[in-house]
Structure 1
């Protein structure tokens, strides 16, 4: 069992934070203008003027093992060591190669669609918390303020909603909500706080399901 990645979306449906631990390859950087600033250095848009990509995140794991052949949510990006080869050279059969902003939109779209379907079919007393496929399991925790914490893990992992709740009530409240230097609902910038990123990284790596 292992944990793949964490997304945080605000009430405006924008991805404001991303962190990954086990992926086969890093997702392709977001397109210019498709992602808020400071979401993650690992997925920041390419710098067209300098011809280089943004520096990878300090806490990005070199052990990336997430693979999906469905092409539905998880993207397989191009190898950073491959130089400036065109994107078509890295596409493999059965794999949908997406930029990070496209991937984030798909993740949020799946959450929104399933949540609405459950509310219509089961009533207001039922809440969507997770779903499982053959390659991953998605966990959701939504706050009263509209923030959505989404974690992807191994399909055999038990429910991790309590972990997302701990991330919210701990590092998020301490380093984001109570920090006047971190803009909330700015629609221009993500969660730019290395203390929060380091705390989340330490918390997730300390879990028994993290491998």
Structure 2
């Protein structure tokens, strides 16, 4: 069981943090690709565009599923997660409309408490309470806090390492 990626979206639907924990194998490309108008795109920019597109697709999926759950079940029903054959998406929305999304392997159980712990112990402590962090992350400016990133890495290792050892 493993974690694939993690996203945080603010109340303005901007992706303010994204992190990939496992890399999907892709054919190595070291050359720039050429667009139809003749301009070249370096590999680093291609990866940045792909990450941005992935975040938009994830948010669009979550937004649509949340809306469908509320229309079918009423305002009290909440969207928590969904599973496919390839991955499971876990979702948590905070009272301040911060949205946390975690993509894991399909065998992983409910991660709502894990997402709540990430928000309460890591995000609030290292980002919200930091005097250097902006209150609004406008213009694609995301969370750039080394303490948050390091804490998230250690937290994910602690959560998923015991599960991987039990499988072996």
Quickly name the TM-score band, shorter chain normalised: 0.7 to 0.9
Which of the two has greater strand per residue?
2
Residue equivalent to 1:120: 71
Q: Give unmatched runs, 5+ long, in structure 1.
A: 26-76, 89-97
TM-score of the aligned structures, taking structure 1 as reference length:
0.66
Higher helix share: 2
Please report how far the alpha carbon of residue 151 of structure 1 lies from its aligned counterpart in structure 2 after TM superposition: 0.2
| Deviation of 1:196 (Å) | 0.3
Matched residue count: 149
Give 2:83's aligned residue: 132
Please provide the CA RMSD for this pair.
1.9
Q: What does residue 49 of structure 1 align with? A: none
Alignment partners' CA distance in 2, 1:87 and 1:21:
29
Aligned to 2:20: 20
Residue 9 and residue 129 in structure 1: after superposition, are their counterparts in 2 closer, same or farther (change >3 A)?
same
Q: CA deviation at 1:23?
A: 2.3
| Deviation digits for residues 1-56 of structure 1 (CA, Å, limit 9, x no counterpart) | 1111100000010110111212224xxxxxxxxxxxxxxxxxxxxxxxxxxxxxxx
Does residue 192 of the first structure (1) align with residue 144 of the second (2)?
Answer: yes
Runs of 4+ deviating beyond 4 Å: none
Partner residue in 2 for 1:204: 156
Shift of 1:210: 5.6
Query: Normalization by structure 2: what TM-score?
Result: 0.82
